[in-house]
Amino acid sequence: MIAVTALFILSLSIAVPIVFRPFYYWHINLLDLPQQTGFSYGQIKTAYDEMLDFCFGLRSRFSTGDLRFSESGMLHFVDVRGLFLLDLAVLAITSLILLTAHLLKRKGIAELYRFNGHTPGYYGAELLAIIFIMITLLSLGNFDRTFVIFHRIFFPGKTNWIFDPRYDQIIDVLPEVFFRNCAIAIVVILICLCVYFIVRDYKIRKKENTVV
C-alpha cells in the first residue's frame, strides 16, 4: 500500500495541471502569446485543445488547428499520449485500490498493517515528499538541464521532442515558461497531498491514543 499511495499522489499531481485546461488558457494572456506568435487567442486555444484531445485519446487523428505540424512532431505527441494515458490509468487503479481499502476498514472487514504505528499512506507520502524535494533542489537555477534530462529518460533514443518552429508551430505557443510552471504546479500539489496524508496519519494516531 505504500507504493499504491505514492503512485496515487504522483499520478494525481501530474494529472491536475494537464486535465485542468484553464491553467494553460491563463498563460495565453499572461505570456502575451498572441503578440509573441502572431496567432490569435482563439487559434492558440484551439491548437492546444486539439493537441490535448489527441493526447487524451479523445480524437484519433492529431491536429493543431491552424498551426502547421510535421510527421516527426506528430510522432512525439503519439509518445506523449502513451504517457498521459498511462498516468490516468495509474490514477484510476490506485484510486480504486485506496477507496476499496477505506471501505473495508470502515466496515471492519480488514485493517492495513501498520509499521511503528504509522499507516502505509504516511510512509508513501513521506518517501515521495523527500524524493521530490531533493529533485526540486537539484533543479533550482537550471530548469533547462532538468527539462532535457526528463525527455531523455521518458523518450529514450529520440530527438523528435526538439521542435523546429518552422515545421511545428505548436512549440511557439508552448514556451518553456509554461512547462516550468507546470512542473512547479505538480510539485506544489504533490507536497500538499503528502502533507495531507502525513497530517491525517498523525490525527488518526492521536485519536486512537486518546480513546485508549
Confidence (pLDDT) at 175: 93
Confidence (pLDDT) at 205: 75
Q: Which regions of the chain are under pLDDT 70?
A: 107, 109-117, 208-212
Closest among 170, 185, 183, 182 to 33, alpha carbons compared: 170
Predicted TM-score (pTM) of the model is: 0.88
Rounded distance between C-alpha atoms, residue 12 and residue 7, angstroms: 8
Rounded distance between C-alpha atoms, residue 73 and residue 93, angstroms: 31
- Please give the C-alpha separations between residue 186 and each of 14, 61, 88, 106, in angstroms, as whole numbers: 6, 28, 15, 31
Domain boundaries, the chain: 2-211
